[in-house]
Every structure is written in structure tokens, then in C-alpha cells.
Structure 1
Amino acid sequence: CFSNQTNVQFKAKFKFTVFNSRNEEIPTTVYTGTQQLHGYFEYIRRDLLISHVHPSDELQLVLNMTVTFDTVTRTSQAPKTLGPPEPKPAEVTKDLESIFKDAKLSDFTIVVGDKEIPVHKVVLSARSPVFAAMLEPHTEEAKTNRVVLEDVEYEVMHELLMYMYSGRSPNIQQMGLELLAAADRFQLPGLKEMADHVLRSHLIVDTACKFLVFADMYNSPELKNEAVKFISQNINSVIQVYHFRKFLNLHWEILVLLPLLAGYYYVY
């Protein structure tokens, strides 16, 4: 008795065979239907079969059943190993900013005017090629663990260091020009790009020529192009704002950047 209690789909092949008195197999019928059946289907009519059988005869019926199941392929995956969650950028920024504000573990001092800023060599070296060279073992700064900077304002240096630690510059809107110069000096391209963007957004008649001079001096091509474009489009307004001839005497290089201004030199 065949029993399928798992509700698995299968196919069955049935072979019915009848043997005669000489134990010879007579023609058979093979059923390979795919539909589901219960009970028997018509193989041979009973009256036809009995008519050829004597009472003393022995009738041999053989049934061969072949059952095949569909192959089921399952792809198993090893359980994913979940590592610890990555720290959020805001958390990293906050932590590094806290390190900058806390002088406990500092190992280097930057002196600006009469103020000292405690910092960490590893951060300076990692963020700025200029500081990395300054802190090579053979340098005086590395031996004394301090450097005096006389040509930068304390507020600008503090803001620059805030960027080096945290990637932020909260006061860049107020000191864009100064940070552009400082970022160029200490080779901080990210801060320089931020300052460049701020200055381009602040291009007005009052600032255009000054921004152009700074852009040329500190190699800021996008700001330079925007300033040239702005001055060209607003030339009459620009020359009325400045003591123009005095400005050009101080910054004659602007005539090279913007030849259009040369014609106004002798007028104003």
C-alpha cells in the first residue's frame, strides 16, 4: 500500500501484466497519465477476461508501480554575521570636537599672540601636510612641542583648528576671506572649498574687487571666475564704490585679470 502523507507532488507509472498458463507475458498496458486518479481505470473488461479462463485455470496479474518525485532545490545561506553598527558621522564630529576643547591629553601648543591653543600632534599631522612636516622629529617645533604663529589672528586659527578636528567651521560666514588664506597656507582643501563657496555667495558690488584679488592670490579659480564675471556685468556700479585709482595702484594685478578695467584707470 502506497501512502503519501506529506502532500508532496509526485508522478506514478503503472504497468499491468497478465501471464498465461505457460507463464508467458501477454501484451500489457502502461498508464503514464499526469492527472490525479482514485481507484482503477479500465484495463480489460471482466467478461472478456473470464470468457478465456477455465475454472481450473490460475490467473496471474502483476502490477508494477514506479513513483517519481519532483526534485526540489533549496539554496541555503549561512546566517549573516552582523558587526557592530558604524558610528554616526555626527557622533564622531561631536567626539572629536570635545577632544579639541579638552586640553587634558594635548601634547602640542600653538601660540598666537598672547594666547595658547593646546592641540594634539596626531590630529595636526593627519589633517595638514604643513603641520606634518613641521612635526618631523628633527624640527625645533617637535622638540619643544610648541610653535609661535605671528601672522594669523587667534580667532582665525581657532576656527581653522575646529575644522581640522571636526570638519565643521561654525563661523566661516564671518571670516571667509581669512579662512581662505589660512586654508591655502596649511593645505586644507576641504576648508578652502568651503570658504570659496561662502565668498562666491557673498559677491556684491562692495566686495567683488577685493574677492578677486584674494582669489588670485590664494589660487581659488572658481571664486576668481565668478568675481570676473560679476565685475564685468556690473562695471559701472563697481567703479563708483571704490576709490578706484587708489585701489588699482595697490592692486595693479587686477588689470591683468580684468583688462576691461584698464580703460577706467585714467578716467577715475
Structure 2
Amino acid sequence: MGQNTTSSVDKPTSETSSRCLIECVTGAHNFEVTRFSLLQGMGAGKFVSSSTFSVSGYDWNIRVYPDGLKEDNPVYMSAFLRLCSGTTDVNVKCTFSLLEKDGRATNLESLTHTFQAVGGSWGWSKFIEKSKLQELLDRNDDRVTIRCVLTVIKEPRTEDVSMILVPVPQSDLHTHFANMLKDGEGVDVTFSVADQLFSAHRYVLAARSPVFKAELFGEMKETTIKCIKIDDMEPAIFEALLNFIYTDSLPSNFDVDKNVALQHLLVAADRYGLDRLKAICKG
């Protein structure tokens, strides 16, 4: 006998999102040593230090060892970064370079390290050979400038993307259109209502009213007339009609409690095919 099977209905997949954010702060410090050749011969393990500089709330300085950090590397100059103050276990990315007289950087060295204790140092015991260093001193008037670019990497944090609410300002499109009508900039058609003139923009009227679209861009004579006469309508009603076309609302000074005014506006809304305005007047 055959076995009846029930086909499963695909259900929408539930989906959530999260994001891991890694923030960092970068700073730079230039440490210049003049008459550097006078320091050579001071002995391994002897150093000169830069002033203290701060990056992301941590204090640092640069230590330069002209004769190397240890006696087993006497032909190298050593350079180290030292954590002077701040919390422990700070993760950094550090780049040391030597600056030429014209500001060009040479001898770039980079590292990433976690300083676990204040007073800890990390760097290069063989930063540059003394023979190459001497060539640099000859070019730079016996000066050495070490540039340190230091990036402190903060602890990663994860956030739920779906919970991030970005405040969105309320729409102000109606305000811009109201100002455009009020200022009269770019108007290209004028209406005469009981000898009172109203200026407007053809494309705005056509976009909002099918009747205006036919009058202004169809085969009717109004397409070539710049001043169109409106009969059987009061200026206040036409002004309210224009305000609605531009802002999708009645003017603030329009008295909705006056049934006569609403009846006239209802007739105008029907005349120009403004269904939303008709519903407002009926309500």
C-alpha cells in the first residue's frame, strides 16, 4: 500500500542581526634628538626619553637606546614604546619611523601588542643599524626624529542591530512647499479671482490636480495663457485651495467651524478633483 505524505508549507525564516564594533583612537608623537652623535658610546641599556604624550586616556613615551638595549647588539640603535600610566591590558598598534629633513618617513616598523602593566615597554632592539643611522645623521645635520603613530584598540562590543533606533526627523516637505508658494520664487502662472491675483507653479498644480493638469498642459487655451481668470469662487476659498495643493492641509487661519466656507471649499475641491480635500470638508 502507498503511504500518504503531507507536503510541508514553507514558513518565513525568522531573521535577526547583530554587529561587532571595534573602536580605536589614533595619535602621533614626534621625538627629535639633536646632536645625536654625542650620545653614541654612552653604553648599552642607556636611553634618552621623549616627553609623555597621551592617546585615548593612556600616557606613553618613547625610549631611544643609541648603543642598543643590550651588549649583544652593539651595532644597532634600539627604540621602544613605554606605557607610563593608565589601566592594564591595553591593546595597541604602533608604528615607528625615522623622518628625513623633508618630512619623508623611512625605516617603518609596526607591531601590535598588549601592554599588561604600567611601566612595560615594547619595541625593536634592532631598530636600525648604526651604519645606516650615520647616513641619516649626515643628511639631517646630526638630528634624529622618531615618529610614533599609536592606535589604542578598545574592547570589542556586540550590539543587536534590530534594537538600534535611529531618530528620524518628522517630514517637513509641506513646510518647504508652503514657503515656495509664499516666496513666489519660480512661479509661472497667475490666477485672477475676483480681481485678486494668485501666483503658483504649473508643475505643482498639475501633479496634484487632474483638472489643473488638463488645463495647464492639455489642449485647452489655458496652456498658453499666463493669467487665468477663475469665476464663481471667492479669493479666500481659492487661497485655501492653493494652500491644500501645496501642503496637503488647510491653512491655519481657515475657520473649519463655518459651514458655508466648508461648503464652498467642497465645491472647489470637487471642481479640481481633490478627493482628499473633499473628504476633509465632508468630515
Q: TM-score, normalization: structure 2?
A: 0.38
Could you say which structure has the greater relative contact order, defined with CA pairs below 8 angstroms and 6 or more residues apart? 2
Which structure has the highest strand share of the two?
Answer: 2
TM-score (normalised: structure 1): 0.40
* Structure with the larger helix share: 1
Asked which structure has the greater CA Rg, the reply is 1
